[in-house]
Amino acid sequence: MENLLYTALFAPLVGSIFAGVLGGRSKMMIAGLVPSILLLVSLAASLVLLGHVLSTGTAVAVTMFDWINIGNFNVAFGFQVDQVTAVMICVVTVVSAMVHIYSIGYMDHDKGFNRFFSYLSLFVFSMMFLVMSDNFLGLFVGWEGVGVCSYLLVGFWYHKRSASWAANEAFIMNRVADLGMLLGIALIYWQLGTVKYDEVFANVDKLDMTVLLWITGLLFVGAMGKSAQFPLHTWLADAMEGPTPVSALIHAATMVTAGVYLVVRANELYAPVPEVGYFIACLGAFVAMFAASMALVNRDMKRIIAYSTLSQLGYMFVAAGLGAYWVALFHLMTHAFFKALLFLGAGNVMHAMHDELDPFKMGGLRKAMKGTFILMTLASVALAGIWPLAGFFSKDLILEVAFVEHHFILYTVLLLTAGLTAFYSFRLVALIFHGEERYKLFGIHPHEAYRFMLIAMSPLAILAVIAGFGFKGDYFAMVTQMLPATEYHVHSPVVYWTMVFGTQIFVGLAIAYAYIKYVKVKAFDPAIESNFFYKLLINQYYIPALYEKFITVPYAKLSRFAWKQIDQRIVDAIVDLIATSIYKLGEVSKRMHTGNLSTMLRLMTLGFVIVLVIALALQMMAK
Amino acid sequence: MAHPYFGVFFLVVFTAIAFIATTTLSAFVGKKLAARETEKLKLSIYECGPETSLQPNKISAQFYLYALLFILFDVEIIFMFPWAVDFKILGMFGFIEMVTFIFLLAVGFVYAWKKGALEWHSMK
Amino acid sequence: MEPVKFDLVALNLNTIMPMLITLGGALFILIIDLFKKLDKQFYVTVSMATMLLAIYAIFQINSAGRGFFDVMLVDGVAVISQLIILGASVLFMPLALTGFRFREFKFAEYFAFFLFMIAGFQFMVSTDNLILIFLGLETGSLALYALIAMHNRQKSLESALKYFTMGAFAAGLFAFGSMIFYGITGSVEIGQMKTVIEGNNFSNMPLILLGTAFMIAALGFKLSIVPFHTWTPDVYEGASAPLAGYMSIVPKIAGFVVALRFFDFLAMADDGVVQTLLWIAAVATMTIGNILALVQDGVKRMLAYSSVSHAGFVMTAILMGTTQAHVGMFLYWTLFLFTNLGAFAMLWISRHPSKQFDIRYDHPFTKFSGMVKINPVAAVMMAIFMLSLAGIPPFAVYWGKLYLIGAAINSDHLYLALIMAINSAIAVYYYLKLVVFMFLKDPSQNDGTIYNMNGTFPLRLVLIVAAVFVIASIATIEPLSAFIQTHVVASGF
């Protein structure tokens, strides 16, 4: 089992190194194939590990070697695969393996083909490291690793100014949040003297309430950064500058869910402080609504999907915040499948449309791209939460959780958001695949993607369909071995069935409305641009502008001041002064060395005398 | 006393000042008092004994080499004398040591000889 | 009187074997030269073989101890320093196989002198008898003066004469110092001096200090301690590059060992006078050496002053007097050996018999302008050696500096540690100056081969050995320090 664990963890790293070695060369097919095959190996190993955990119910744990050993501070490179991790690694490897294969087609004509696979595999390695580590510090290493890879991949087309800007934004925002997380980990170590999960969780009751509040709060700040929760959410939409497979893998399925994973993983820390949990839930609900509203009007296909991701992350946090950790993790899993599918479909559309992202310029693509049409519709249905697809089982569960826990406001917000979700999803589908073929105006001849790309997407599609009813039972049985096994039942059957059917009808109506409204659209109607709500939403509630005005610009000014006034005028001047004075001293003492033998001998004698005098003087002092 | 190390400090300053003062003073005095016409004497050949200008014949450098070698091998005899006196007490060990010593001298001698140091005006 | 009993076992001939081998090799070269003219390849081979044999002989000494009527003292320190001396010699020797012809290598005497010099320094480190130390010191030094002069340029003769005169003066000081200590203790052996002086509780302090002042001056000359260092730049400039590099290593390690034996117990006296003296000397040496190196125009002169500074740095080990410091001293010097070997070999490989770049210097800084563009390999190599000298991790000398500064902190010499750190920072400036010249300026000519016209396969091999060691030092540092540790501890320092 240990070897399997190492295989699952390190196979992506090997792939990354392999592709990285070829990084400087022009496109080589092997640089894409080898990492993909290694990922399939990793996937197989993960599945076996999952099977092991599922059948025996025991975690696989290894300690690789001592990592940090300073004084009393001992941390080992330890990994474990328990129930939560097993779910995570399977999700990660499934999605990444499919994305890898898909990318071989998608990045076909890109100059940076080899480099891309190197980064992508490195990301998978970091993500596996993140979820497999058995201590907070290892988690942090993986956390930073995925951050770096995200930076590299968002800025993959670094010659584009917007891409490098987005990469920087993502990186810096995450860094701000990571500080919170690092402080949280430091606090844990300071209080408990260990960072290992088992030992920390075993000693939670020893912690002071205030301290625990701080720890959970600070850790959640880290989670907010990585999972792009308000107010650190702006980077996610901008991160869509990266190649689409990256958006599918990192900014939808895996990395952004790391925040949720953290809260689930640290559930024993969150359990004693329901206040923090409630805050998390409220924030999640707010973000769910907030992001969905922005997705309503956006005219960028990928950004719409990104906002939808944001919104779904909000759902997960609601579940996690209310203590329904297994529900959060379940939604994380199903969401990974259908959202990755959605993004990959968007990638196909982008390719067909020559990187056009505005759905108002598409329309009627279902004829040209039948496979993509079916897959994306399937994903959208799953996202909207229609029975019997995966989204229904996980999302409805979250609604039930909110209802059962008597948080009716949260419930209402989430219900409304579910309608919005259905609306914008089908707005997108309608605009892209139905109606008139508006793209003809631009002289584009769309074509379907490579067959193997569609085949690579199909496992995700299957999972998006069956993950709900197929896995729920086993999943629940397994995960609740370590997570709180609260079952959320609405006691009155009448209320329950009303809720289920009501939601389904509501969602169905939203879909129908979106379809009717957008299927006949001829072109984008500029009249709407003067609408106040439209302006508010398309400008993302003016939040980026506010950040620009109140944070970025003043900070730049402050930096400039520190550079010009403090650094150059004061610090540099002092350093220069020291340097020049030492140099001058050298020039002066150079005169001692005339090269004249008599002077040298005299100097030697003088030296002897000085030594003697000092010696005798010291001797007198000593007495 | 203000500070236990005041004395050291004073001495260091004092020596420094005294050194600078004496050297500058001596340089100054030297410049003022020195006889300026010394170049000729400075550049002339130095030899102890009679004044060079009166020397009728010059002595070749070879002479010094000769003399040096002579002294070298001559002085080594000193080591043999005590050995010869105490030969019986020192016994075999002394004998071996002396043979080694003489062997080394012989090597030196052969070296000088082969190099032509013993031939007048024909150093290789 | 009874005849003297002659006991071969008590004589412990093993202790003297390494020196006998080197001396034998020297004599062999001298004699063979008388009968047959041979080229330098032969002499280099013989010398190398001799030195390797001597190293082998050192490893055969399995019982540390005294020998040869108790005059020889072969303890761990002697073993390490002999290994450093011989190792350095083995590495510097192939530098004689140059591409251009230089006059000194035509003479067999050059190689004989070289071996005599080594034997002298070997004697110096493996005894605590002041007379034998003196003898070894003079044997080594006289051979060295001749070697410098054999480079046969105006400057070489001048520097050899200067070195000789000052060396004679220093020898006089040494003799005076020994005399005073003999007067106080009635012995010429450092071990017995220690017993006597500690026995009567440092009662003759003024006299001891007078002797110490003489000794500091005498050894300070060998170690180039300020203000006895004035010969260093001139002599380095006059000597050929390999010899200059050699001089910065071998005579100094011999001097350090003598200083270690001599000052160790004096510095540990309760009143701390000698310790303070050494403190002042070490600090002055590293600081002034550094400051003067800043303003040099010739690389060789810069390296000369920098080696003064390094000597001051290592000098601190003696005043600290802890085992860690002593281990650090040998460790530092081993690492410094490889780095300086590389740096001077780089100068040597770029040497041209005519001075093309400057009227005065063979190697002005401007010679290396823009070297990276016309000879990148050589430039990178040189840069590595410079970075190592500057003590930038992970290159060799960094570990030495780390070890010594650590030792200073552990022995509560906090100010000293601070000064050492500051001096390391200053030193970075002038080493990087050369790197800046090589990497950031425009080349003055187009022909990159000028930088290795003097190069041959053996020279390049030596350079590669040095570079590999400097780069891979992180891997060797553990076993090396462990080896030194066992030997230093075994000899009680």
Count CA atoms within 13 Å of residue A566 on its CB side.
Answer: 7
Q: How far is CA A314 from the centre of its chain?
A: 14
User: How many domains would you assign to chain B?
Assistant: 1
Q: Which residues contact A338 (CB under 8 A, 6 or more apart)?
A: A378, A379, A382, A383, A389, A390, A391, A460, A464
Q: Give this complex's ipTM.
A: 0.87
* The predicted structure's pLDDT at residue B57: 65
Q: How far apart are CA C103 and CA C152, in angstroms?
A: 7
Q: What angle do CA A225, A228, A230 make, to 5 degrees?
A: 95
| B19 Cβ under 8 Å from any chain A Cβ | yes
For residue C6, give how far its alpha carbon lies from the nearest alpha carbon of chain B (Å).
6
Give contacts of C221 with chain A, Cβ < 8 Å.
604
Class of residue B42 by CB neighbours under 10 A (exposed 0-12, middle 13-18, buried 19+): exposed
Mention every residue, 6+ apart, whose C-beta is less than 8 A from residue C489: C76, C323
Contact check, Cβ <8 Å, B110/C1 = no
For C8, the closest chain B residue by CA position comes to B93
B115, two tokens: 């190099």
pLDDT digits (tens, 9 = 90+) for C449-485: 778 788 889 999 999 999 999 999 888 888 999 999 9
| Subunits with 3+ C-beta pairs closer than 8 A to C | A, B
Give the list of residues 6+ apart from residue A595 with CB closer than 8 angstroms, or none: C234
- Look at B91 and C6 and tell me if their CB atoms are within 8 Å: yes
> Among partner residues C165, C234, C274, which is closest to A595 by beta-carbon distance?
C234
Residue B39 domain-assigned?
A: no
Q: C interface toward A at CB cutoff 8 Å?
A: 161-162, 165-166, 169-170, 173, 205-206, 209-210, 212-214, 216-217, 220-221, 226-228, 230-231, 233-234, 271-274, 276-277, 280-281, 288, 291-295, 426, 429
C15-65 pLDDT, tens per residue? 889 999 999 999 999 889 888 888 888 999 999 999 999 999 998 887 667
Quote the CA–CA distance of C430 and C309 in Å, as a whole number.
12
Strands A73-81 and A60-70: antiparallel
> What residues of chain A score a pLDDT lower than 70?
70-72
B86: nearest CA partner in chain C: C3
Q: What are the pLDDT digits (tens) for C421-450?
A: 999 988 998 999 999 999 988 887 777 777
Which among A579, A601, A611 has the least Cβ separation from residue C216?
A: A611
Residue B7 forms part of a structural domain: no
Is some CB atom of chain C closer than 8 A to the CB atom of B89?
A: yes
C215, C171 Cβ separation under 8 angstroms:
no
CB contact under 8 A, A618 and B8: yes
Tell whether B12 lies on the interface with A, counting CB pairs under 8 A: yes
Residue of A nearest to B16 (CA): A610
The chain B residue lying nearest C3, using CA atoms, is B89
Kindly list the distances between the CA atom of residue A335 and the CA atoms of A402, A419, A562, C128, in Å, as whole numbers in the listed order.
19, 17, 46, 82
Q: Which amino acid is at A602?
A: R
- Asked, for residue B93, whether it belongs to a domain, the answer is yes
Query: Averaged over B79-99, what is the pLDDT?
Result: 85
Q: B124 falls in which pLDDT band (50, 70, 90)?
A: very low
Domain span at residue B71 reads 61-114
pLDDT in tens, C211-236: 999 999 999 999 999 889 889 998 99
What's the Cα-to-Cα distance from A362 to each of A99, C250, C285, rounded to whole Å?
Answer: 25, 81, 79
Could you identify the residue written with the tokens 């071990």?
C191
Q: Which of B62, A588, B19, A604 is nearest to C162 (CA)?
A: A604
Read off the pLDDT of residues B5-42 as tens digits, 9 standing for 90 and up: 787 888 888 888 998 898 889 888 888 877 666 666 66
Is pLDDT above 70 for C6? no
| Burial environment of residue A25 by CB neighbours within 10 A (0 to 12, 13 to 18, 19 or more) | exposed
Query: Nearest-CA neighbor of A371 among A399, A393, A352?
Result: A352
Q: Which amino acid is at C151?
A: H
Nearest-Cα distance to chain B for C2, in Å, is 6
How many angstroms separate the CA of residue B61 from the nearest CA in chain C?
Answer: 19
Q: Return the partners of chain B (3 or more C-beta pairs < 8 Å).
A: A, C
In a mutagenesis test of the A interface, which of B5, B8, B14 is the best target, namely the one with the most A β-carbons within 10 Å? B8
User: Would B82 be classed as within a structural domain?
Assistant: yes
The CATH number of residue B77's host domain is 1.20.58.1610
* The pLDDT value given to residue A369: 86
Tell me the shortest Cα–Cα distance from A582 to chain B, in angstroms.
21
Query: Cβ of B15 and A613 within 8 Å?
Result: yes
Q: Give the confidence band of B69 by pLDDT, cuts at 50, 70, 90.
A: confident
pLDDT score recorded for residue A286: 92
**What pLDDT score does C370 carry?**
86
Residues of A in contact with B7 (CB under 8 A): 617, 620-621
Q: How many CB pairs under 8 A join B and C?
A: 26
Task: Sort out which chain B residues have CB atoms less than 8 A from C35's CB and list them.
Answer: 114
DSSP-derived 3-state class of residue A63: strand
Question: pTM of the entire structure?
Answer: 0.64
Q: Using CB atoms and an 8 Å cut-off, which of residues 594-613 of chain A contact chain B?
A: 606, 609-610, 613
Question: Does the beta carbon of B14 lie under 8 angstroms from any beta carbon of chain A?
Answer: no
- Which residues in chain A touch residue B24, judged by CB atoms under 8 angstroms apart? none
